Amino acid sequence: MAVTDHVDFATFMEGLKKRNEGQPEFVQAVQEVAQDVFEFIADKEAYHTAQILRRIAEPDRVVSFRVCWEDDNHNIRVQRGWRVQNNNAIGPYKGGLRFHPSVTESVLKFLAFEQTFKNSLTGLPMGGGKGGSNFNPKGKSDSEVMRFCQSFMTELYRHVGPDTDVPAGDIGVGGREIGYMFGQYKRITNRWEGVLTGKGKEFGGSDLRPEATGYGAVYFLQNMLKHSGEDVEGKTAVISGSGNVATHAAEKILQLGGKVLTLSDSGGFIHDPDGLSQEKIDWVKEHKTLRRGRIKDYTKEFPTATFHEGKRPWSVAADLALPCATQNELDADDAKTLVANGVRAVSEGANMPTTLEGVHVFHEANLLYGPGKAANAGGVAVSGLEMSQNAGRISWDNERLEVLLTDIMGQIHNQCVEYGENSGKVVNYVKGANIAGFKKVADAMLSYGVV
């Protein structure tokens, strides 16, 4: 007779913490999902018997490797690289590469776990993975970045492939780094194939990929507002970050008739009470990406703005908030400040930017809160479309891709509404995203049996 092991949420979390000691980001990410999933599967025996959540919360594999490279002064440098392949039940592993000194195995495991649910929500056949290195591209010459990327790919190529695992960019990995890594993959394997997304348009990159995450986060926000009978038009927004996601989110808010008041980087934030025009956003893009400059220089160029050193933008009063920099950049106090200032909706462009305590504050305040795994899925969705274009040796134009992106974000929103209904309160988008993302992966796993 089969003995069914029905562990409860507390016992599950206790075991998870024991098995993942010293990995707080990973534990935080699993905890947030597990709460909702336990409620959902309470009366669903099959998921318990097959230990589905326990299996999703144990990566299929974590590859860790040495990355050795030579700097411009001929010093030999040693970094650590990782690829976390979390789950490929519904498609090849898919998720970005992050190059940043804060990268650890815990951070990448949390991101790969989140990615599994996010990719499931897009409706496209993609599993979840994430990778990267503690390498800091800041202040490095192009040649140093090239040598690092080549060395990184010299190991990574064994673990990836268009039907196995398809990485993309993330913090510190943009078009330049993807180009160097794709070149090295092609050189080693002698194959031109869609092994990375976020490529340059000349070599198989999709139109709209750079814009997709930021635009998608705003489309998600627009869907949440519309569901509550409101719109972006005429509303003010505070945005953190000044990288790929933040600048494109700002651009889309502007296009939809909103006014963006802030951007930031790890040095502080700028507050522009006149709002960011397209010209100002273009200046930030160029300054941060091409010149690799700091956001504080914005005030020299546009003197009506002020710079707030070492601070985050959440104290500036606005209707909308879009955290688009990094994880845990918005805590309970920040959330309380936003609520006190009358924020109406929060849409996360970054991954897990709000702490668990911050999320509680938003839920208590009954405001519209779109978690990253749903709100920022537009990037990976267009990456999925890049994979389709590469496989079919075709390319779609911007117009067609924007229609597809808009549709996908609308579908993600609808799934969240379906599973996140919240008796009289606004939709619980966290619960909706967790359950909808989980269900598809879990059902695929059930079909495979015990593997």
Catalytic residue among 94, 130, 288, 431: 130
Rule CB under 6 A: choose which of 205, 349, 358, 432 binds ligand NDP.
349
Q: In terms of residues, how long is the chain?
A: 451
Q: Is 137 in the site for ligand NDP (CB under 6 A)?
A: no
CB 112 within 8 A of CB 128: yes
- Give the binding range for ligand NDP (CB under 6 A) out of 28-36, 273-281, 303-311, 348-356: 348-356
- Give the binding range for ligand NDP (CB under 6 A) out of 50-58, 65-73, 145-153, 170-178: 170-178
- Name residues contacting ligand NDP, limited to 295-324 (CB under 6 A): 324
- Give the binding range for ligand NDP (CB under 6 A) out of 226-234, 261-269, 275-283, 297-305: 261-269
Q: What H or E segment, with its residue span, contains residue 94?
A: strand 93-99
- Name residues contacting ligand NDP, limited to 353-392 (CB under 6 A): 376, 379
- Give the binding range for ligand NDP (CB under 6 A) out of 164-172, 278-286, 339-347, 406-414: 164-172
The span from the CA of 383 to the CA of 94, in Å, is 9
Q: Is 178 in the site for ligand NDP (CB under 6 A)?
A: no
What is the CA 352 to chain-centroid distance, rounded?
A: 8
Burial 371-400 (b: 16+ CB within 10 A, else e): bbbbbbbbbbbbbbbbbebbeeeeebeeee
Q: What H or E segment, with its residue span, contains residue 93?
A: strand 93-99
Tell me the two tokens of residue 96: 């970005």
- Name residues contacting ligand NDP, limited to 214-243 (CB under 6 A): 241-243
Q: Is 120 in the site for ligand NDP (CB under 6 A)?
A: no
φ and ψ of 166, to 5 deg = -125, 95
The span from the CA of 210 to the CA of 208, in Å, is 6
Q: Is 245 in the site for ligand NDP (CB under 6 A)?
A: yes
**CB nearer to ligand NDP: pick between 27 and 381:** 381
φ and ψ of 365, to 5 deg = -80, -5
Q: Is 79 in the site for ligand NDP (CB under 6 A)?
A: no
Rule CB under 6 A: choose which of 31, 134, 164, 266 binds ligand NDP.
266
The span from the CA of 145 to the CA of 255, in Å, is 35
φ and ψ of 270, to 5 deg = -105, 145
Contacts of 201 (CB under 8 A, 6+ apart): 207
**CB nearer to ligand NDP: pick between 154 and 376:** 376
**CB nearer to ligand NDP: pick between 261 and 445:** 261
Q: Is 207 in the site for ligand NDP (CB under 6 A)?
A: no
Size of the site for ligand NDP (CB under 6 A): 24
The span from the CA of 314 to the CA of 269, in Å, is 10
Q: Is 329 in the site for ligand NDP (CB under 6 A)?
A: yes
Strand partners, 323: 240
- Give the binding range for ligand NDP (CB under 6 A) out of 41-49, 155-163, 231-239, 262-270: 262-270
Contacts of 396 (CB under 8 A, 6+ apart): 206, 207, 385, 389, 404
**CB nearer to ligand NDP: pick between 172 and 205:** 172
The answer to whether residue 109 is catalytic is: no
- Which residues of the chain form contacts with ligand NDP (CB under 6 A)? 169-172, 213, 241-246, 264-267, 324-326, 329, 349-351, 376, 379
State the catalytic residues.
Answer: 130
